[in-house]
Amino acid sequence: MYEELADEGLVIISVALDQSGEDIRPFIEEAKPAHPSLIDTEHVLADLYGMVNIPTAVWIDEDGNIVRPNEPVFGSDMFKDFHGMDTDIHKNELRAWVREGKLPFSPEEIRARQMLPTRDEQLARTEFTLAWHLHGAGHADAAERHFVRAGELSPNDFMVRRGSMPIRGLDPMGEPFFELYEEWQARGRPYYQARDRKEALGE
Amino acid sequence: MLDEASRRELPVTVSDTHLLIAPETLSEILGWELKPQGLCRDSACFPVADSDGVVIDGAIDLEGFARTVGRPLALDREHRVAALGTAAATRADAMESLVAPDFRLPDLDGRMHTLSEHLGKKVFLVAHASW
């Protein structure tokens, strides 16, 4: 579906937030997308776009403005497939945007749907950066401490908590993930909550 | 010190209670100036009071600096590494502007790609992972 829209002028940029291109390569080679598949080992996009899980999509218009914000599509988290991230509603809306320039949200609605990060969420991302660096330098114990700290600071950030599992030698498809998921369910599934500046920063 | 995209050696005087850097280190490596108005970068200044414990005998306390300018600082004293992240307020400003932040990332063949190279087209940016 995405490739058909690419023929109509849509640029698709897919980015894997994985610890190595080799983790994602088999999926890319099987899917054989026509568009470039990028690798973001430092989770730069997670910080820039406030992403808390994958898959996450953002629509950007010709002027470089976000016209559909970071909306994690929390579909089947057990069996993620590169092409299978979307609900039908999202697909239809995407088609309407590409073909007719139709936007589902006004700028005010986009802002209302954004989840602005708190200080702790930003600190969690910074702890993750430090942990990743320590891991790369061969300091696994220190890295572990900082990955754990990151998770404590931002318990609902799956990018931090689940994204760190492969790096830490934990199975992101197994028991550690089931525990994370149950714990998240028990907290009332606080997955994606739009949050404005006042709630995020107290301003 | 891991600061945005850079990794820099930061000369720091370490004690049990403080991590102190020289004003030259602050400006040359971190890009901030200590002025009478406070800690400044570009046109933004964050006031510093004597009682804040940020400036100690002319040196700047690293944690105090980060706290004053609102940036997250992660420290590993054992391995002498720190990461300075993006302030929540900075991220809020950027997100509220609705301008899509540019980035520069490699593909699997190591070729670099940016968002800005696609200005003038509609972009569907999707983040995914093997986990």
Q: Look up the ipTM and state it.
A: 0.92
Q: Tell me whether B6 touches chain A (CB under 8 Å).
A: no
**Per the CB < 8 Å rule, is A10 touching B88?**
no
How many CB pairs below 8 Å do chains A and B form together?
Answer: 224
pLDDT tens-place string over residues B3-59: 876 778 888 888 888 899 999 999 999 999 999 999 999 889 999 988 888 999 889
- The reported pLDDT for the residue numbered A191 is 66
A51, closest residue in chain B (CA to CA): B127
**Per the CB < 8 Å rule, is B121 touching A54?**
no
Residue A69: closest CA among B71, B115, B121, B101: B101
C-alpha–C-alpha distance, residues B56 and A3, integer Å: 59
Backbone angles phi, psi at A21, to 5 degrees: -60, -25
Residue A17 with chain B: CB contacts under 8 Å: 127-129
- The reported pLDDT for the residue numbered A89 is 65
Distance from CA of B40 to the nearest CA of A (A): 20
Rounded mean pLDDT for each run of 10 residues along chain A, 203 residues in total: 83 92 84 86 94 91 94 46 52 90 93 93 97 96 97 94 94 92 85 84 89
- The reported pLDDT for the residue numbered A78 is 34
**Per the CB < 8 Å rule, is A45 touching B127?**
yes
Residue A27: which of B95, B125, B130 has the nearest Cβ?
A: B130
Distance from CA of B37 to the nearest CA of A (A): 22
Question: b or e along A15-41 (b: 16 or more beta carbons within 10 Å of the residue's beta carbon)?
Answer: bbbbbebebbbebbeeeeeebbbbbbb
For the beta carbon of residue B37, count every other beta carbon within 10 angstroms: 12
Cα–Cα distances (Å) from A18 to A9, A28, A44, A132, in that order, read: 28, 13, 11, 11
Taking only Cα atoms into account, the Rg of chain A, rounded to an integer number of angstroms, comes to: 18
pLDDT tens-place string over residues B82-128: 999 999 999 999 999 999 999 999 999 999 999 999 999 999 999 98
User: pTM for this one?
Assistant: 0.91
Distance from CA of A125 to the nearest CA of B (A): 8
- Residue with tokens 């609902």, as numbered in its chain: A156
Mutate to test the interface with B, among A23, A40, A121, A133 (most CBs of B within 10 A): A133
As given in the structure block, the two tokens for residue A36 are 């470039």
Residue A68: closest CA among A88, A43, A28, A96: A96
**Per the CB < 8 Å rule, is B118 touching A13?**
yes
